[in-house]
Chains A and B, each alone.
Chain A
């Protein structure tokens, strides 16, 4: 492959997010590092409460109170469209209500959430939703499509009629039938799949460099899910957009991601290319996850391999490796005492497990 290597868009270094609550401190994200390259899809998988959504929110400085970034940094390689100059912005040091993060949030990094109904305002039409984003972000710095560029460059704000055109164009691109009519529909008049498409249209209307998709298809039926995943892939190819795809559905991630990070209790336990992760998983947790899903196709009477026990209490994390009480490869005297370090096995395959360490 000849594509430029290391065309980094977002670099997360040793990110730590803590929540100070009455019962103590919850380390929701505990030392996570990865990079997202332009035009590529990074998958983040893990069970609920593993910190995957909080990591995504940290990128946009959207951590809900009382959470805070306790350490590490999020470096965003900002580049104006068409230029090769890159500014590196440390997002974790930005004021969450400041001008710069508000330009990035929604404008340069879009986000779609799991529940399309509660992410849309019931009193706004689909068109107003999209125009809200475009009005905020479509300045000469950003543009939608090439045919819109001149207009956008000429005026700082779009006129009403132009904004409507942008909205209709976006709805058409995400595959909503009769976009001229649908632009005036309210969320309750749209089906679940259509609502999620409107969310995608909003997120993509400003031509973001990255899309954060937090469980975007979890609430949808498989047939609609297939449509949405196709649209996301098409848009990614057209715009050279990076995607951070968060899900617990291993089938979806196998289709979408180029590289995958597996998280458990706020820590990353393994990172590898999608093929390596599925065909040669190293961490016992990854192995167990892959074995615990029923596979469609061949019918077996075998029981599912389940992970024993449950996710530990975040206030009293196990000593040593946090996975050791549930781990089938538990080594007494080691795993419960020594915390594993994050290390590279081969090429781009990283793991955090004492099985692969000399101790």
Chain B
């Protein structure tokens, strides 16, 4: 294990439900008639973070930063190129043990299927993630059927209970997805994700496609469900105000790498990474009297197939020094629970929102 993995305290690892260590996912670039591999898109490049039981970790960053890929690689929807995904599994525990820590990157197909009962996923697009030819009841029941958990009488009651829990009516059971509004469809997706009693739900932009009033309802629902079922969330989103609202801790990604991870309030109020500072300053505030001194980041996000040298953010960073061009910064703990990948994190005085 290299020096860039998270240096956690001695007791810290024990309470982590999910611990991602040095996760990598590279997509090959093929070229020419022979489809030779000429390079890699380093979508996720040495990413480390952890999630505690019952908490929400927000994962933010600009589009193309690898946050969705990271979420999918955890569940092995993409095969990881490297790194560990440590998960405290209950279903794989043997011999009277409550839980066992396993590396998801090494699980075989059968073991992974069990894990997928423990980790569920909610997708961004509530229209395309529901099969238009299945009724709501069948959609919510499908995970139970696939995992052999479906028993007609009992499961039907579970499904009705779930639908009510997410704010739908039992008579919606026999209807089709097109009969619902966007917000209701997202609720169906949430009910489906919860049908196997997961402990972690990876939410990939769950409210981005929704209107503000429906977004508020959905966020409230996710919070209620978290409390009632003791769920942990990895909440992937690009809307920084939504992420702050729902997250206990927030991780910021930039071009496949972690930039910063900290308690939500601390990250927003006292960021340590210049990229976090610039992102925060760009958030439009719903206050016409507020005139922000915006930090306009020059240029576009770096190309993950051909990233700049040293710190990937240095061409856009207004604090960059010579060292940043040459040496990649380590993702290190500067304070308890506050990690940052910046050479100048100690000396810089950055402003929050």
Contact = CB atoms under 8 A, between A and B. Distances in A.
Nearest to A177: B299
Contacts of B182: 48
B238 interface: yes
B238 A221 contact: yes
A278 B213 CA distance: 17
A226 interface: yes
Given A230-B296, A251-B286, A288 B353 contact: no
B308 to A, nearest CB: 15
Given A221-B63, A304-B245, A306-B220, 14 more contacts: A48-B182, A191-B301, A223-B279, A223-B282, A224-B300, A249-B284, A254-B288, A275-B288, A290-B286, A295-B285, A296-B241, A296-B285, A299-B268, A311-B211
* Size bracket of the B interface: 35 or more
Contacts of B245: 294, 299, 304
Contacts of B242: 294
B216 interface: yes
A268 interface: no
A48 B241 contact: no
A288 B213 contact: yes
Interface string A266-307: 000000001100110000000011101111110100011111
B184 interface: yes
Contacts of A223: 62, 278-279, 282, 296-297
Considering the complex of A and B, which 4 residue pairs feature the smallest CB-CB distances, nearest first?
A251-B284, A294-B245, A306-B216, A292-B216
A229 B242 CA distance: 21
A252 B300 contact: no
A169 interface: no
A55 interface: no
A255 B299 contact: no
B297 A289 contact: no
A227 B284 CA distance: 12
A288 B283 CA distance: 21
A250 B286 contact: yes
Contact of B268 (A194, A297, A304): A297
Contact of B213 (A177, A225, A292): A292
A47 interface: yes
A222 B282 contact: yes
Interface of A: 47-48, 177, 191-194, 221-227, 229-230, 248-252, 254-255, 274-275, 278-279, 288-290, 292-297, 299, 303-307, 310-311
Contacts of A193: 300
24 contacts: A47-B212, A48-B211, A221-B62, A221-B301, A222-B240, A222-B279, A222-B284, A225-B282, A225-B284, A250-B212, A254-B285, A275-B288, A278-B287, A294-B242, A294-B245, A295-B285, A296-B268, A296-B285, A299-B265, A304-B245, A305-B216, A306-B216, A307-B217, A311-B181
B294 interface: yes
A289 B286 CA distance: 11
B183 interface: yes
B223 interface: yes
Nearest to B217: A306
Residue of B219, B287, B289 with most partner-chain A CB within 10 A:
B287
A288 B212 CA distance: 10
Residue of A224, A295, A304, A307 with most partner-chain B CB within 10 A:
A304
Contacts of B246: 294
Given A288-B213, A289-B213, A304 B219 contact: yes
A359 B72 CA distance: 58
Interface in B188-242: 211-217, 219-220, 223, 238, 240-242
B70 to A, nearest CB: 17
| Chain A contact surface mostly | helix
Contacts of A303: 220, 223
B264 interface: yes
Interface in B57-76: 62-63
A305 B213 CA distance: 9
B244 interface: yes
A222 B238 contact: yes
B220 A294 contact: no
Contact of A226 (B216, B290, B296): B296
Contacts of A230: 294, 296
A255 B216 contact: no
B115 to A, nearest CB: 31
Nearest to B238: A221
Contacts of B215: 292
Nearest to A285: B213
A97 B173 CA distance: 47
A310 B285 CA distance: 26
Interface in B274-313: 278-280, 282-290, 294, 296-297, 299-301
B211 A254 contact: no
Interface in B153-202: 181-184
Contacts of A290: 286
Nearest to A227: B296
Contact of A292 (B212, B265, B280, B290): B212
Contacts of A248: 211-212
B244 A296 contact: yes
